[in-house]
């Protein structure tokens, strides 16, 4: 049946800000869906609070609402737009939950909106653990024995029923399994259950038989309304049960199932999707298999596209989200074409002749104090994927794609040293799942462990362990040889085992260039193979490649157009995520517009940039010098863009240039200048600008000396990092000594920078574009917090809300001078501080910044696209962008933090970035815009109730005015002794409550009881007090609005006032657009 003619417009809800468990894979799926539905002529209405997404670009939907994702806003949008249908399955858990809320509140019925893809009943059955379990038993499938409980008493009964520890506890309706865990004893059981009941929005947890150590599988399934079902991909987890699949190393296709077992799992997957009743679209179904008996248990299903379906799409070339969207509007699988082969229909099952490995990327280093053990609650912030002809090749490629300093499974680099480690260390690292376990498997082999012994410790399937053993054996064998003595056959096999030149250089005690030269001479060359969905059975037309060492090279002949390579950002991490992918995608679109061929290189499966539709040629490859150079050479590219993918390509820029690569746009030297203090000072001198007093140091002693010279407080930071890793505001010598080692450890052999820290300064981020002749400010963003909060974490207002026109002019002039001095061709970001009406330059980065997509949305100008065009030589005047655009509305950016995932970590804003995502609030009124940003970042500002106010001494003078304003707005203030006294002394009514150390009830009790609606708690010093942290953690856990800076609190007051006095409307960004006529 063709598409439904009765539907006219379709509402798509995005996934909101990037959080752990929900990253840019939903931008990928949402973007595909928007494109697919508009292609069919439907009017697409999109809602998403995340401005860094491609899907929220104005051209991807008919109307795009960058508004908070909550019931109130959604109802307003539905009332305005009156969509005929809502597609709830493409925006992750956020969209699914919100759609269910809309349905429950009767809003869909009220406005006659049909839910397509999956009906509420099906979503409920898929999501509600108890209902799901009953469904599975009904259709003759096995499930883990379990009980759903709503109280501690019921939980204890369940533990008795199930008999033995360990037991798994899973809270209902929490994202990525947060709040769950494995209890090995009664005490842990009590703790995890209590926490889980607390976190579950329905106060419900599942207590379950523990399948720890069993094998884990995922099936990506699609169904159409004719009940035709296909499996797109099977995935086997390298890490056995016990580690959240998002935190597991996973491999496609499944490796250790016989056909009999695989077909039972396939049949079961179809039985599940049919019984749950997902009418059309994709679902992910997880299974567990007992390695001893083959007993197969259904774990859970996601009745929507998921992170795994993004992975499956990239792994097979089958665009799950796009097809899901088309199925939702009435098409059947056999009516849709496979884009890659063009001749075969979408009703087939991809077959792959390579192995795909995904490894999660963690950032525990940013959350000191957090538990680094991997459990059933997801903790990773990103992932890398690699494709190889064999598992060994794919695994080693993926390890180097991770960009954590590892070159693969050994062969030098971080974790790859030649030492023999103590068994105690190895056993500890193997016995408990952790993010470094894979590296310690090698150390175990090195220490002489047998596969059997490693299996006993890890329960990782012996098949995988033997594959790694083979890599280890190869490394041992190679280490007996040198570049002179190695034979061609062994060298080729080493490359086929996934060894990169850097590993070989380490093993042969040679260097990268010598290995490369030797390899070329020996004729051991990289070949590129196609990802074609069909294992070469049919001709493929989509140039989607991976590298290998085989007989045949499948690179398509050149088209005759000039080729520009774009280097992506690699796996998501804090500080480098979707914003940079957004820029890379724009570069690709721009190049296509002006007749270039774009060649994308990236290793992150969650992204839009790795959609085979995005660029003319896609290389799913690690972003290392060897891999990038090889593609550049073989594709005979004319240039490469390094300034869009964040730090990853920048770290390669100089070496690429040294190897004869044409880096287009701003030169690598200018880009590096930002990190080179001497050259930076010279530029400032030349432009007549100043920066806070600063020093560079190569060792700890010099660093302290430098700190004393510039005077405390100082800003201490390593060079060459993004996201403020190892960056501290230090107020005293003691503090300095405590942290200086960490700053050096981030980038060994690189200097650390020590700057005078400007207290209470206003910070301003400026994004600018230049073609070498003309420079135009894209946007100025004033931070709400005083300087000292990382710009990725700071709330920002655009246009600046407190600075006067004269100062903004000074800023503008300074920006243009810097762009000129640095010979910027492309984008540049400058961070300024303003103190006592003096302008200081904090940082200059002549490259795309994290704020580019936000600014582009605010001014309605695709800055990244323009930048890509100017890098190819186009001029801004010819492109029609020569005048700075000041939005006539207020745009507020707010950051979103993962603290709830890392119990025990310090909750405070600082110079080290720790947010995972961002949201945008837009309105004609600044207060409303701020309130919208808060609502989008969740939980949003309260309009009445109790405030817990506790500030550091330095903030006490301002606390009085703050409290008075809150009292005027009708709030009741609760404070502990110090702040309470200040307020009382100044005549502000305040209720004194106990500090945690003083007894109970205290603020934490009140938070748990829902008696506090707003927490304002500004931490003192660099290392905050534990008690204060407990209060902030409780606020996070219970969804209570938390402000940790005094300026943030003042902004909140303005937001609250606006919410009470002014209407909060919704407006699509297309209606905000200025009158820029781009050519």
Partner 1 sequence: MWNFPPQVTQSAHKTLGTGHTTSFRSALMSTFKPGVLALEDGSVFRGRAFGAAATIAGECVFNTSMTGYQEIITDPSYFGQIVTMTAVQVGNYGLTPADEESSGPKCAGFVVRELSPVVSNWRSEISLDAYLAKNGIPGLAEIDTRALTKKLRVDGAMKSCLSTLPLSDEEAVKLARSWRDMAGSDYVKDVTCKAPYLWSASDASNYNAAYLPIGTTFKAPPPPAKRFKVAAFDFGAKYTIFRKLVRHGFDVHVFPATTRAEEIREHKVDAVFLSNGPGDPAALSYVHQTVTKLIPDYPIFGICLGHQMLTHALGGTTFKLKFGHRGGNQPVKNLETGKVSITAQNHGFATDPASLEKNGAKVTEINLNDHTVEGLRHTQLPVFSVQYHPEAAPGPNDADPLFVDFYNMVEARKAGKI
H-helix or E-strand spanning residue 808: helix 805-821
Q: Which of 490, 774, 882, 943 binds partner 1 (CB under 8 A)?
A: 490
CB of 332 to partner 1, least distance (A): 8
805 burial (CB, 10 Å; 0-12 / 13-18 / 19+) is exposed
CB of 488 to partner 1, least distance (A): 11
Rule CB under 8 A: which of 545-564 touch partner 1? Answer: 550-552
CA gap 777, 852 in Å, rounded: 11
CB of 531 to partner 1, least distance (A): 12
* 834 dihedral zone (left: phi>0; alpha: psi -120 to 50; beta): beta
Q: Which of 439, 497, 499, 728 binds partner 1 (CB under 8 A)?
A: 497
3-state secondary structure string across 1000-1016: CCEHHHHHHCCCCCEEE
Rule CB under 8 A: which of 459-478 touch partner 1? Answer: 461-463, 466-467, 469-471, 473-474, 477
Which of these segments, 322-330, 375-383, 388-396, 1056-1064, binds partner 1 (CB under 8 A)?
388-396
Q: Taking a C-beta distance cutoff of 8 angstroms, is the pair 996, 1004 a contact?
A: yes
Work out whether the CA dihedral 235, 236, 242, 245 comes out positive or negative: negative
CB of 66 to partner 1, least distance (A): 40
Rule CB under 8 A: which of 836-865 touch partner 1? Answer: none
Q: Which of 142, 436, 672, 884 binds partner 1 (CB under 8 A)?
A: 142
* CA atoms within 13 Å, Cβ hemisphere of 294: 8
CB of 465 to partner 1, least distance (A): 9
CB of 396 to partner 1, least distance (A): 13
CB nearer to partner 1: give 29 or 288. Answer: 288
Q: Which of 118, 122, 254, 395 binds partner 1 (CB under 8 A)?
A: 254
Residue 385 sits in the site that holds partner 1 (CB under 8 A): no
Q: Which of 205, 451, 825, 864 binds partner 1 (CB under 8 A)?
A: 451
CB nearer to partner 1: give 225 or 1025. Answer: 225
Residue 884 sits in the site that holds partner 1 (CB under 8 A): no
Residue 525 sits in the site that holds partner 1 (CB under 8 A): no
Q: Taking a C-beta distance cutoff of 8 angstroms, is the pair 370, 364 a contact?
A: yes
CB nearer to partner 1: give 3 or 835. Answer: 3
Kind of pairing between the strands at 563-567 and 597-602:
parallel
Q: Which of 128, 154, 188, 261 binds partner 1 (CB under 8 A)?
A: 261
CB nearer to partner 1: give 260 or 1071. Answer: 260
Rule CB under 8 A: which of 757-786 touch partner 1? Answer: none
Q: Taking a C-beta distance cutoff of 8 angstroms, is the pair 880, 1078 a contact?
A: yes
Rule CB under 8 A: which of 100-139 touch partner 1? Answer: 138-139
Q: Taking a C-beta distance cutoff of 8 angstroms, is the pair 436, 360 a contact?
A: no
Q: Which of 153, 292, 806, 1079 binds partner 1 (CB under 8 A)?
A: 292
What mask, x for binding partner 1 by CB under 8 A, covers residues 197 to 226?
Answer: -----------------------------x
CB nearer to partner 1: give 346 or 707. Answer: 346
* CA atoms within 13 Å, Cβ hemisphere of 276: 38
Rule CB under 8 A: which of 628-667 touch partner 1? Answer: none
Residue 535 sits in the site that holds partner 1 (CB under 8 A): yes
Which of these segments, 292-300, 846-854, 955-963, 999-1007, binds partner 1 (CB under 8 A)?
292-300
H-helix or E-strand spanning residue 408: none
Q: How far is CA 943 from CA 668, 1007, 1052, 1065, in A?
A: 50, 17, 10, 17
Count of chain residues binding partner 1 (CB under 8 A):
80
Which of these segments, 447-455, 506-514, 925-933, 942-950, binds partner 1 (CB under 8 A)?
447-455
CB nearer to partner 1: give 294 or 1010. Answer: 294
Rule CB under 8 A: which of 2-41 touch partner 1? Answer: none
Dihedral of the alpha carbons of 504, 505, 507, 509, in degrees to the nearest 10: 160
Q: How many other CB atoms sit within 10 Å of the CB of residue 490? A: 14
CB nearer to partner 1: give 346 or 583. Answer: 346
SS3 453: helix
Residue (of 815, 765, 834) closest to 794 by Cα position: 765
CA gap 871, 857 in Å, rounded: 21
Residue 327 sits in the site that holds partner 1 (CB under 8 A): no
630-644 burial: b if 16+ Cβ within 10 Å, else e: bbbebbebbbbbbbb
Which of these segments, 35-43, 182-190, 338-346, 808-816, binds partner 1 (CB under 8 A)?
338-346
CB of 398 to partner 1, least distance (A): 16
Q: Taking a C-beta distance cutoff of 8 angstroms, is the pair 162, 147 a contact?
A: yes
* 1078 dihedral zone (left: phi>0; alpha: psi -120 to 50; beta): beta
Kind of pairing between the strands at 972-975 and 946-950:
parallel
Which of these segments, 534-542, 594-602, 707-715, 845-853, binds partner 1 (CB under 8 A)?
534-542
Q: Which of 36, 296, 842, 1059 binds partner 1 (CB under 8 A)?
A: 296
SS3 293: coil
CB of 546 to partner 1, least distance (A): 11
The length of the chain in residues reads 1079
Q: How far is CA 1048 from CA 789, 834, 956, 1003, 1018, in A?
A: 11, 18, 15, 20, 10
Cα distance from N-terminal residue to C-terminal residue, the chain: 41
Q: Which of 353, 838, 953, 968 binds partner 1 (CB under 8 A)?
A: 353
CB of 257 to partner 1, least distance (A): 6
Q: Which of 28, 391, 589, 832 binds partner 1 (CB under 8 A)?
A: 391
Residue (of 753, 633, 652) closest to 702 by Cα position: 753
Residue 268 sits in the site that holds partner 1 (CB under 8 A): yes
Residue 488 sits in the site that holds partner 1 (CB under 8 A): no
CB nearer to partner 1: give 331 or 890. Answer: 331
- Locate all alpha helices (DSSP H) within 178-290, ordered by sequence: 186-199, 259-276
The number of helix segments (H) and strand segments (E) in the chain equals 36, 38
- The interaxial angle of helices 451-458 and 462-478, nearest 10 deg, is 130
Rule CB under 8 A: which of 355-374 touch partner 1? Answer: 355
What mask, x for binding partner 1 by CB under 8 A, covers residues 223 to 242?
Answer: ---xxx-x---x--------
Q: Which of 537, 745, 773, 1061 binds partner 1 (CB under 8 A)?
A: 537
Sequence-ordered list of residues with C-beta below 8 angstroms from that of 645, at least 6 positions apart, any chain: 566, 567, 568, 569, 570, 580, 581, 583, 584, 602, 623
CA gap 728, 676 in Å, rounded: 19
CA gap 940, 398 in Å, rounded: 39
Which of these segments, 112-120, 330-338, 675-683, 704-712, binds partner 1 (CB under 8 A)?
330-338
CB of 185 to partner 1, least distance (A): 25
Residue 354 sits in the site that holds partner 1 (CB under 8 A): yes
CB of 275 to partner 1, least distance (A): 11
CB nearer to partner 1: give 65 or 528. Answer: 528
Which of these segments, 94-102, 430-438, 537-545, 702-710, binds partner 1 (CB under 8 A)?
537-545
Q: Which of 59, 121, 267, 759 binds partner 1 (CB under 8 A)?
A: 267
Residue 259 sits in the site that holds partner 1 (CB under 8 A): yes
CB nearer to partner 1: give 342 or 520. Answer: 342
Structure tokens at 187: 């005490």
């Amino acid at each position: 049946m063709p598409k439904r003619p009765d539907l006219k417009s379709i509402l798509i809800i995005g996934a909101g800000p990037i959080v752990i468990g929900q990253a840019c894979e939903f931008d990928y799926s949402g973007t595909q869906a928007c494109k697919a539905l508009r292609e069919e002529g439907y009017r697409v209405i999109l809602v998403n609070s995340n401005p860094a997404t491609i899907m929220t670009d104005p051209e991807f939907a008919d109307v795009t609402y960058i508004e908070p994702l909550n019931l109130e806003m959604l109802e307003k949008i539905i009332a305005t737009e009156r969509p005929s249908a809502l597609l709830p399955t493409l925006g992750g858990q956020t969209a699914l939950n919100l759609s269910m809320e809309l349905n429950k509140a009767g809003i869909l019925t009220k406005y006659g909106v049909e839910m397509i893809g999956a009906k509420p009943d099906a979503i409920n059955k898929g999501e509600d653990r108890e209902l799901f379990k009953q469904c599975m038993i009904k259709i003759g499938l096995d499930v883990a024995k379990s009980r759903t409980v709503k109280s501690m008493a019921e939980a204890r009964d369940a533990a008795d029923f199930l008999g033995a520890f360990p037991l798994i506890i899973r809270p209902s309706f929490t994202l990525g399994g947060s709040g769950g865990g494995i209890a090995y004893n009664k005490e842990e059981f009590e703790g995890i259950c209590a926490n889980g009941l607390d976190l579950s929005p329905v106060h419900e947890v599942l207590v379950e038989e523990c399948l720890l150590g069993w094998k884990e599988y995922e099936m990506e399934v699609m169904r159409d309304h004719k009940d035709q079902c296909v499996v797109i991909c099977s995935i086997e987890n390298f890490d056995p049960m016990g580690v959240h699949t998002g935190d597991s190393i996973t491999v496609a296709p499944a490796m250790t199932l016989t056909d009999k077992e695989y077909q039972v799992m396939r049949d079961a997957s179809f039985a599940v999707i049919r019984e749950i009743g997902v009418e059309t679209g994709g679902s992910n179904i997880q299974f567990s298999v007992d390695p001893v008996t083959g007993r197969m248990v259904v774990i859970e299903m996601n009745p929507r596209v998921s992170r795994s379906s993004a992975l499956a799409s990239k792994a097979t070339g089958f665009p799950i989200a796009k097809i899901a969207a088309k199925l939702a509007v009435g098409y059947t699988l056999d009516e849709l074409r496979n884009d890659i082969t063009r001749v075969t229909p979408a009703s087939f099952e991809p077959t792959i002749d390579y192995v795909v490995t995904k490894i999660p990327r963690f950032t525990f280093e940013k959350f000191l104090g957090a538990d680094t053990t991997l459990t059933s609650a997801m903790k990773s912030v990103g992932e890398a994927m690699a494709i190889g002809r064999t598992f060994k090749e794919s695994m080693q490629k993926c390890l180097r794609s991770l960009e954590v300093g590892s070159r693969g499974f050994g062969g030098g680099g971080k974790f790859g040293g030649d030492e023999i480690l103590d068994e105690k260390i190895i056993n500890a690292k193997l016995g408990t799942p952790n993010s470094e376990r894979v590296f310690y498997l090698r150390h175990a082999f090195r220490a002489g462990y047998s596969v059997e012994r490693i299996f006993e410790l890890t329960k990782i399937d012996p098949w995988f362990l033997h594959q790694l053993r083979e890599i280890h054996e190869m490394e041992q064998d190679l280490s007996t040889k040198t570049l002179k003595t190695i034979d061609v056959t062994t060298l080729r096999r080493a490359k086929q085992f996934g060894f990169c030149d850097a590993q070989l250089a380490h093993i042969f005690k040679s260097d990268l260039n010598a290995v490369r030269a030797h390899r070329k001479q020996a004729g051991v060359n990289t070949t590129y193979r196609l990802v074609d969905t069909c294992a070469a059975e049919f001709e493929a037309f989509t140039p989607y490649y991976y590298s290998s060492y085989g007989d045949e090279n499948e690179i398509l002949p050149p088209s005759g157009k000039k080729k520009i390579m774009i280097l992506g950002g690699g796996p998501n991490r804090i500080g480098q995520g979707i914003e940079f992918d957004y820029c890379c995608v724009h570069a690709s679109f721009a190049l296509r517009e002006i007749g270039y061929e774009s060649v994308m290189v990236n290793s992150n499966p969650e992204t839009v940039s790795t959609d085979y539709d995005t660029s003319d040629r896609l290389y799913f490859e690690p972003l290392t010098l060897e891999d990038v150079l090889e593609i550049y050479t073989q594709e005979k590219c004319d240039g490469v863009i390094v300034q869009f993918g964040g730090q990853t390509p920048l770290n390669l820029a100089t070496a690429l240039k040294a190897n004869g690569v044409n880096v287009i746009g701003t030169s690598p030297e200018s880009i590096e200048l930002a990190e080179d203090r001497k050259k930076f000072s010279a530029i400032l001198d030349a432009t007549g600008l100043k920066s806070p007093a600063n020093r560079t140091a190569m060792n700890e002693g010099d660093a302290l000396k430098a700190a004393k010279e510039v005077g405390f407080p100082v800003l201490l930071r390593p060079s060459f990092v993004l996201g403020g890793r190892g960056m501290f505001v230090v107020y005293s010598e003691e503090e300095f000594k405590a942290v200086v080692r960490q700053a050096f450890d981030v980038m060994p052999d690189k200097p650390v920078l020590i700057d005078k820290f400007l207290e209470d300064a206003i910070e301003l981020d400026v994004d600018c574009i230049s073609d070498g002749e003309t420079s135009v400010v894209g946007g100025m963003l004033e931070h709400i917090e005083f300087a000292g909060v990382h710009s990725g974490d700071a709330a920002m207002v655009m246009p600046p809300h407190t600075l006067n026109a004269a100062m903004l002019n000074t800023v503008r002039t300074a920006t243009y001078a810097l762009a000129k001095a640095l010979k910027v061709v492309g984008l540049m970001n400058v961070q300024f501080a303003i103190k006592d009406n003096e302008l200081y330059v904090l940082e200059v980065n002549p490259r795309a910044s994290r704020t580019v997509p936000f600014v582009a949305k605010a001014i309605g100008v695709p800055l990244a696209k323009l930048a890509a065009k100017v890098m190819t030589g186009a001029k801004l005047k010819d492109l029609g962008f020569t005048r700075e655009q000041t939005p006539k509305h207020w745009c507020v950016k707010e950051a979103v933090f993962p603290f709830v995932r890392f119990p025990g970590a310090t909750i405070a804003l600082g110079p080290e970035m720790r947010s995972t995502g961002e949201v945008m609030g837009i309105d004609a009124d600044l207060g409303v815009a701020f309130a919208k940003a808060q609502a989008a970042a969740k939980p949003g500002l309260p309009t009445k109730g109790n405030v817990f106010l506790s500030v550091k001494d330095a903030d006490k003078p301002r606390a009085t005015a703050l409290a008075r304003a809150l009292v005027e707005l009708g709030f009741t203030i609760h404070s502990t002794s110090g702040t309470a006294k200040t307020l009382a002394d100044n005549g502000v009514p305040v209720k004194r409550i106990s500090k945690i150390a003083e007894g109970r009830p205290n603020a934490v009790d009140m938070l748990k009881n829902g008696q506090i609606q707003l927490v304002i708690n500004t931490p003192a010093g660099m290392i905050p007090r534990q008690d204060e942290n407990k209060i902030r953690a409780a606020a996070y856990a219970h969804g209570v609005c938390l402000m940790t800076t005094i300026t943030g609190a003042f902004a909140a007051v303005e937001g609250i006032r606006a919410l009470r006095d002014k209407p909060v409307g919704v407006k699509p960004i297309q209606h905000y657009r200025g009158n820029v006529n781009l050519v």
